[in-house]
Amino acid sequence: MNSDEIDIYKELKKYFGFSQFKGLQEKVISSIIAGSNTFVIMPTGGGKSLCYQLPALIKEGTAIVVSPLIALMKNQVDAIRSLSSENGIAHVLNSSLTKTEINQVKKDISSGLTKLLYVAPESLTKEEYVAFLKSVPISFVAIDEAHCISEWGHDFRPEYRNLRHIIRQLGDVPIIGLTATATPKVQEDILKNLDMTNANTFKASFNRPNLFYEVRPKTKNVEADIIRFIKQNKGKSGIIYCLSRKKVEAIADVLKVNGISAVPYHAGLDAKTRARHQDMFLMEDVDVVVATIAFGMGIDKPDVRFVIHHDIPKSLESYYQETGRAGRDGGEGHCIAYYSYKDVEKLEKFMSGKPVAEQEIGFALLQEVVAYAETSMSRRKFLLHYFGEDFDGETGEGADMDDNVRNPKTKVEAKEQVIQ
């Protein structure tokens, strides 16, 4: 098929029912259809999946989609199947399949029915699968969550590092890398590792103009301060992140005692309780969820009005992801981080048991968080700069939406804070 002849708007409507592309989608899709290596950096919720799904449905052959989470792959396969009358249009290939199921997948791919094949990176290392995939037409390989390649990313997975080697065996197929991780260091790692420094790169802005960023000193009154804030924002939904499960439980209890409807969420609770607490939050049976970072992946509640970090996050990446859960609907989203240097030392101690290389990266990432907490410049500018984005502090969207810009610290105030 000649790429000039394809009306991608028509295809978008036909498969997904949308009339418009979001942000950079159209450009990305044209690049993929043209068969170029393509690199996509878009914040979570930006619509990265469609960037490879639509070209996969349009192009000849099967697109391989590498994704780190089995649950996410299953969701996507179900979603694609619902767009078509053919179940075989999308498949997952993994170790949990029976021999019969694997044969069905192979048959559907060979007959040209399957447009999207989702695989976990560890499955793609299996000789048997690689041998088969070599024998069928592959339209391209999409690597979702491509930051897993980088040790500087928040979710490093060693298996991702072998992908380039395996893809090479499939012949000259284009590669599409996608990530929501915006730091220049991680991006460089991804491009180098996939050997595609020549890729067409599309980077969306990471600015979230409706989020208000604030850092408060963490004193012994932190709990009272949080309670006061929540009471001033009665009836609004919010998330409070803590470092430890113990802290999560303690804060949830304190909130409840003070008449605030709150539930705890952490990996120490059994799956049923976790699901129940998450549903209670989504259904607005409770206002507040107090959680470790185990909470939030894939949570799509549009009207979260505040995200409070009782303890500082491990990196600015995580901070951006976690605060990003506020104000998805474009409405108000207040992000408060409580900061004390003692917490930094605690985190450093935490990391000291880890291998040296990991420690070094961990410390460096943490130092950026410290710099963010201690800066007197625009926090938005600081965050976006960290993501390699130049933000105009005068005229940029949301320029006045942080504590430093609203109330520049005078020397006297700074002194008072130390004495307290």
Closest to ligand ADP by CB, 46 or 362: 46
Please report whether residue 42 would count as binding ligand ADP according to CB under 6 A.
yes
Please report whether residue 229 would count as binding ligand ADP according to CB under 6 A.
no
- The CB-of-68 to Mg ion minimum distance in angstroms stands at 11
Q: What is the DSSP string of 268-318?
A: TS-HHHHHHHHHHHHTTSSSEEEE-TTS-TT---TTEEEEEESS--SSHHH
Q: Which of 18, 132, 229, 363 binds ligand ADP (CB under 6 A)?
A: 18
Number of residues that bind Mg ion (CB under 5 A): 1
- The CB-of-144 to Mg ion minimum distance in angstroms stands at 6
Report residue 416 as tokens. 């008072």
- The CB-of-378 to Mg ion minimum distance in angstroms stands at 29
Stretch that binds ligand ADP, among 14-22, 129-137, 211-219, 358-366 (CB under 6 A): 14-22
Q: What is the DSSP letter of 47?
A: -
- The CB-of-380 to Mg ion minimum distance in angstroms stands at 24
**Residue 257: is it exposed, middle or buried by C-beta count within 10 angstroms (0-12/13-18/19+)?**
exposed
What residues numbered 55-74 form the site for ligand ADP, per CB under 6 A? Answer: none
Please state, in angstroms and rounded to a whole number, the distance separating the CA atoms of residues 343 and 376: 20
Closest to ligand ADP by CB, 117 or 308: 117
Please state, in angstroms and rounded to a whole number, the distance separating the CA atoms of residues 391 and 175: 30
Find out whether 79 and 15 touch, Cβ atoms under 8 Å.
no
- Mapping DSSP to helix (H, G, I), strand (E, B) and coil, where does residue 386 land? helix
Binding mask 305-344 for ligand ADP (x = CB under 6 A): ----------------------------------------
Q: Which of 29, 33, 48, 308 binds ligand ADP (CB under 6 A)?
A: 48
Stretch that binds Mg ion, among 40-48, 206-214, 284-292, 315-323 (CB under 5 A): 40-48
Q: Which of 50, 56, 65, 365 binds ligand ADP (CB under 6 A)?
A: 50
Find out whether 204 and 370 touch, Cβ atoms under 8 Å.
no
Please state, in angstroms and rounded to a whole number, the distance separating the CA atoms of residues 365 and 348: 11
Q: Which of 46, 153, 177, 313 binds ligand ADP (CB under 6 A)?
A: 46
- The CB-of-244 to ligand ADP minimum distance in angstroms stands at 28
Please state, in angstroms and rounded to a whole number, the distance separating the CA atoms of residues 107 and 52: 23
Query: Would you report the helix, strand and coil content of the chain in percent, each value rounded to 5?
Result: 45, 15, 40
Residues that bind ligand ADP (CB under 6 A): 18, 20-22, 25, 42, 44-50
Residues that bind Mg ion (CB under 5 A): 48
